[in-house]
Amino acid sequence: MIRKDTLLAWPMIAFMVLFFISPLVLLAGISLHGEDGSWGLGNFAAFLSDPFARGVLTGTLALGAKVTAWVSLAALPLVMLYWHGGKRLRGLILICTLLPMLTANVVRTFAWVVLLGRNGPISQTLLGLGLTERPISFLFSETGLVMALVQIEMPLLLLPVFSVLNRADRKTLEAAEVLGAGRWRAWFSSIFPQIIPAVLAGWVLVFASATTSYVTQSVIGGARLIYLPQFVYREVGVLFQWPMAAAISILLLASTGVIMLGLTMLARHERLQGHG
Amino acid sequence: MAEFRNRLSTLLYWIFVWGGGLAVLIYMIGPIILALVMSFNAGSTLAFPPKGFSLRWYQMLLDPAESGPIHTAAWNSIEVALSTVVLVTLITAPAAWALARANRRFAGSVEPVLLAPLVLPSLVYALAALLALSLLGLGPSFIAVLIGHAAVFAPLMFRTVLGLAQRMNPALEEASATLGASRGRTFLKVSLPGILPGILAGAFLVFMQSLDNVSVTLFLGDPGRTMLPLRLFAMLEESLDGRVAAVSGLLILAAALLLVTLQRFGGRSSS
């Protein structure tokens, strides 16, 4: 069965199956293990029937949705600028996208601690403009957390879109413009449909990353705002409720998975329409 | 009238594209520049605007008497990151090279498994690995962190090497074999130089990610051995001082180096 030319691939395949796939299978199995030794969906039922836990779940999903929505809105003008840009502008935009992404997450979170703090630039500017009388801190608020996560996760949406635009045909847009469609209509009717699959792929990455960014959530959100990752950590590190932690992780994965599946189906649908 | 409306619409379009686009660009890069600026801050707090230029935080960071725990944590992390890079290179580079040459159906069925860690939140994996460890009766350790990091970050190098290996002309290797070079010699002289840029770019990516990862390190690591991301995380939560800015400055420099490496060596594989 193992052919000679694929021999070199097997160490990695074995490594990933042994050390990556099997722990996850184990995680799924343990999530079904009840406190009293029984097997079933008891942990899931217990989690979902607890109003506080349910609030954490919906709060986390809402955080992911908010970040994804703001990322999409903010990315739009930049994506359009990238499309119109020449080689040098595109290069600059690419650097400004890649540098934050390659910078350690802890560093980006630190930058936002300074930005959002009582003595930070945002508070000082508002003070200077007379919009507020006392310095205000945006730390430990969901607004601040969303602002930070939008900047931290935006590259995940931008990069797939940029790579589509690099391959896209400029002539379609020019043709639309020559035919008299306004700038707006030309962009939204000829370029926008082409980037939709990449946008959907980006949404999944942004959503999954925003809902599980433990460091940013704990540091910027503070102790009062609890999201699923902190909840999981509490179950494991403080309460030693491993089966419950496993069940919560599976829920987190499942919710991201459902969104991914939905978006993939939507992308197929859109693509069919685009070519139909 | 119609003419005027057209012009207005075009004007608004360019205001949206240029104004909005540049504003978002500043939003993206601004925090990184701010972190850099604050690292040269002469003041004793991290208040904005900074009070003059100084290297005091870098000096304090480099001083072993004052920042000993940070140094230890940094060395521990670098040790893990380098070991991870070696392990990942050993399993990933041959696999990517072989799969680029394997038949499509086989490669297509295996690749999703090898790329899966890219989409799985590392927190979930960390928990799964911790459960597996304790079920085997093992405790957190250096080896556990190493294997965990390798499993989560191997796809980064797999992607950069695969991209290059797929673009290589198989005729080169055939020619080398026909001319009498042994299999090993062909690999060393022809195949390896072809995929080396991908290995380099991937190694850098894996190194940086390993240095930055909190969840796998937190769950699988020996609590007695502090690691850099955990130390920084603790400093962010407790004693926010200028040294965090100085470490940030160094990590931003590393990210910039990574960017240059990727553009030089990884550009062909990622484009």
Half-sphere exposure of A6 (CA within 13 A, CB side): 17
Whether residue B267 lies within 8 A of chain A, CB to CB, comes out as no
Read off the pLDDT of each residue in B18-29 and give the average, rounded to a whole number.
96
- The beta-carbon neighbor of A246 closest among B117, B127, B229 is B127
Give the pLDDT score at A242.
86
Q: Which residue has the higher pLDDT, B35 or B242?
A: B35
Backbone φ, ψ for residue A131 (5° rounding): -80, -20
Q: Which residue is closest to A84 within chain B, CA to CA?
A: B17
* β-bridge partners, A39: A33
In tens, the pLDDT along A127-165 reads: 888 888 888 888 899 999 999 999 999 999 999 999 999
Cβ contact (<8 Å) for A208 and B27? no
Grade residue A4 by pLDDT with cuts at 50, 70 and 90.
low
Contacts of A126 in chain B (CB under 8 A): none
H helical segments located in chain B? 2-14, 21-39, 56-62, 64-101, 104-115, 122-135, 142-167, 170-178, 183-186, 192-212, 215-220, 228-237, 242-261, 267-270
Residue A124 in this model has a pLDDT that exceeds 90: no
Q: Name every chain B residue with its beta carbon within 8 A of the beta carbon of A156.
A: none
Tell me the pLDDT band of B271, cut-offs 50, 70 and 90. very low
pLDDT attached to residue B268: 46
Confidence at A273, pLDDT banded by 50, 70, 90:
low
Which residues 6+ apart lie within 8 Å of B181 measured at CB?
B189, B190
| B47-82 per-position pLDDT tens digit | 778 888 888 889 988 888 888 889 999 999 999 999
Judge: A99–B29 Cβ closer than 8 Å, yes or no. yes
* DSSP per-residue codes, A37-74: S-BSSHHHHHHHH-HHHHHHHHHHHHHHHHHHHHHHHH
Chains A & B: contacts with CB separation below 8 Å: 256
Rounded average pLDDT over B93-101: 89
Q: Which of B38, B45, B61, B131 is most worth mutating to test chain A (most A CB atoms within 10 A of its CB)? A: B131
Nearest CB to A11; choose among B32, B91, B233: B91
Q: Is the pLDDT of residue B269 over 70?
A: no
- Kindly list the residues from chain B whose CB atom is less than 8 angstroms away from the CB atom of residue A189: none
ipTM of the complex: 0.88
Q: Which residues does B65 contact at the CB level (< 8 Å), separation at least 6?
A: none
- Residue A276: pLDDT over 60: no
The tokens describing B176, both together, are 């080398």
pLDDT tens, position by position, A168-206: 877 766 776 666 668 888 888 888 888 988 898 899 889
Test B35 with A9 for CB contact under 8 angstroms.
no
Q: Which of A37-46, A210-219, B96-105 tops mean pLDDT?
A: A210-219
User: What percent of chain A is predicted at pLDDT more than 70?
Assistant: 92
Residue A1 clears pLDDT 70, i.e. is over it: no
| Token pair for B136 | 């085997």
**Residue B96 CB partners (closer than 8 Å, separation 6+):** B157, B158, B161, B162, B165, B195, B198
Res B37 pLDDT > 50: yes
pLDDT (0 to 100) of residue A270: 61
Average pLDDT, chain B: 88
Q: Does residue B134 sit in helix, strand or coil?
A: helix
Q: What b/e readout covers B19-31, taking b as 16+ CB neighbours within 10 angstroms?
A: ebbeebbebbbbb
**For B244, nearest residue in chain A (alpha carbons):** A110
Predicted confidence band at B158 (pLDDT cuts at 50, 70, 90)? very high
